[in-house]
């Protein structure tokens, strides 16, 4: 993160174009929350959003399955793609249980997310649930940026945790985008960092009150914009420049809006009796 203001996340909200993204996201979220189906069937929308979000997040991590295949399957062991989809589904189910802990101890939540993502896979040894150590390889198929060393990872995770615990006035979208980008940049675990970064983004969006029922799956929007656009926007985050940071935040905002569009379509289908 490139700014050193007393509230650096709030300072990012003043970057060119960011206020417009924040406003656009808020209006989109308000519209779907106002849909008549939400008044009586919000639990169904939440469940469907979790499923579709998991599918989108897994697709970005190299397991681009059709939604109906994700819905149909019960066995997610065996090959790497199935394990990735299973990890994404478990993270989607777990994220909502961790909101209160996140505000007090984000690092505990991140460790828990890694444990949940790995599940019962025996291939990770003692690396599960802790930041990677010197010499440990990282399996992250999409992100090829240089890996920070473990000492830098530790320091930056502590800094991120302090910002989250301190709170502040930054819009939810800005905080979610920074948490997402920072975890992608650090890749603190030996595996599943992309899935965890996107799950953490979801936790911020829900816990902030922007999307309290978790019906706006940003992961859907990230996947819909495509892997190349995701990586390009992330490179803007890595640059640390105002333009790059603003572009990353706008990309994350567009992802939320596309997630809103997805859930609006689900609402419309339920209203027609087609889902």
Task: Work out the average pLDDT over 129-150.
Answer: 92
Q: How far apart are CA 231 and CA 116, in angstroms?
A: 25
pLDDT over threshold 80, residue 250: yes
Lowest mean pLDDT: which of 12-21, 175-184, 252-261? 12-21
Task: Judge whether 236 and 247 are in contact, CB under 8 Å.
Answer: yes
Q: Which residues of 82-92 are buried (b: 16+ CB within 10 A; e: fewer)?
A: bbbbbbbbbbb
In 3D space, the residue among 230, 266, 254 whose CA is nearest the CA of residue 51 turns out to be 266
Residue 196, both tokens: 């965890």
Task: Work out the average pLDDT over 246-264.
Answer: 98
Residue 33, both tokens: 């929350």
Lowest mean pLDDT: which of 52-61, 120-129, 180-189? 120-129
In 3D space, the residue among 213, 208, 209, 218 whose CA is nearest the CA of residue 251 turns out to be 218
At 6, is the pLDDT very low, low, confident or very high (cuts 50, 70, 90)? low
Torsion of CA 268, 271, 274, 275, to 10 degrees: 80
In 3D space, the residue among 189, 180, 214, 275 whose CA is nearest the CA of residue 53 turns out to be 214
Residue 44, both tokens: 């169904």
Three-class DSSP category at 188: coil
Three-class DSSP category at 191: strand
pLDDT over threshold 80, residue 35: yes
From the number of C-beta atoms within 10 Å of its C-beta (0-12, 13-18, 19+), residue 156 rates as middle
Task: Judge whether 118 and 87 are in contact, CB under 8 Å.
Answer: yes
Q: What is the pLDDT of residues 171-217, one digit of tens each?
A: 999 999 999 999 999 999 999 999 999 999 999 999 999 999 999 99
H-helix or E-strand containing 174? Answer: helix 172-186
- What is the CB-side half-sphere exposure of residue 129 using CA atoms within 13 A? 10
| pLDDT score of 32 | 97
Q: Which residues contact 16 (CB under 8 A, 6 or more apart)?
A: 242, 243, 246
| pLDDT score of 3 | 40
| pLDDT score of 2 | 40
| pLDDT score of 162 | 95
Q: Which residues of 59-71 are buried (b: 16+ CB within 10 A; e: fewer)?
A: bbbebebeeeebe
From the number of C-beta atoms within 10 Å of its C-beta (0-12, 13-18, 19+), residue 117 rates as buried
> What are the beta bridge partners of residue 191?
139
């Amino acid at each position: 993160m490139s700014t050193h203001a007393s509230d650096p996340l709030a300072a990012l909200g003043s970057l060119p174009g960011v206020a417009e993204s924040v406003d656009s996201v808020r209006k989109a979220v308000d519209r779907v929350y106002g849909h008549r189906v939400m008044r009586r069937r919000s639990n169904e929308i939440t469940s469907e959003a979790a499923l579709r979000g998991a599918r989108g997040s897994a697709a970005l991590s190299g397991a681009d399955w059709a939604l109906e295949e994700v819905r149909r399957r019960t066995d997610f062991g065996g090959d790497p793609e199935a394990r990735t989809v299973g990890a994404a589904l478990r993270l989607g189910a777990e994220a909502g249980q961790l909101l209160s802990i996140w505000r007090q101890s984000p690092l505990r939540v991140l460790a828990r997310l890694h444990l949940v993502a790995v599940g019962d896979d025996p291939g990770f040894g003692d690396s599960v649930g802790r930041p990677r150590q010197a010499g440990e390889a990282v399996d992250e198929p999409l992100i090829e940026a240089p890996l920070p060393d473990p000492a830098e990872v530790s320091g930056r995770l502590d800094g991120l945790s302090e910002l989250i615990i301190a709170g502040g006035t930054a819009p939810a979208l800005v905080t979610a985008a920074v948490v997402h980008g920072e975890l992608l940049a650090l890749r603190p675990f030996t595996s599943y960092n992309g899935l965890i970064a996107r799950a953490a983004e979801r936790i911020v969006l829900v816990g902030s009150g922007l999307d309290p029922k978790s019906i706006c799956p940003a992961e859907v929007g990230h996947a819909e914009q495509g892997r190349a656009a995701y990586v390009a926007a992330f490179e803007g985050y890595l640059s640390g420049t105002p333009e790059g940071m603003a572009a990353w935040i706008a990309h994350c905002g567009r992802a939320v809006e596309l997630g809103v569009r997805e859930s609006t379509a689900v609402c419309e289908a339920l209203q027609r009796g087609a889902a």
